Amino acid sequence: MNKYIYLLLIILLPLGCNNTTEEVDDAQTKVDIFLLDMNPILYQTMLEIKAEIVLADKKIHQLYELKSMFPSQRDMVDKSLKQWQNLRKDLNSTSTNISNKV
């Protein structure tokens, strides 16, 4: 009996997650449309911030790979890694603040 309940939960759980994801995506789309209509320059800036966040994520991933490949250079890689992580955090914070105010 318990196996069936767990199986049912496993099957239905993604359905509930999809609805939540769709609601978040729908809200983000509405914010984007509003921003594009009201202030196209700010909208463009938001897109650039998102692109920079993606770039920072790629650089962070590359630095983790370098760190594992060259353990003797750990200090230098850690310094760069910290700078990229701080940049990503700041960009994400800025993007979130703008979205919340809009």
pLDDT in tens, 63-85: 999 999 998 999 999 999 999 99
pLDDT score recorded for residue 17: 53
pLDDT band at 14 (very low <50, low <70, confident <90, very high): low
pTM across the whole model: 0.68
Per-domain residue ranges of the chain: 1-38, 39-102
Cα atoms found within 13 Å of the Cα of residue 75, Cβ hemisphere only: 1
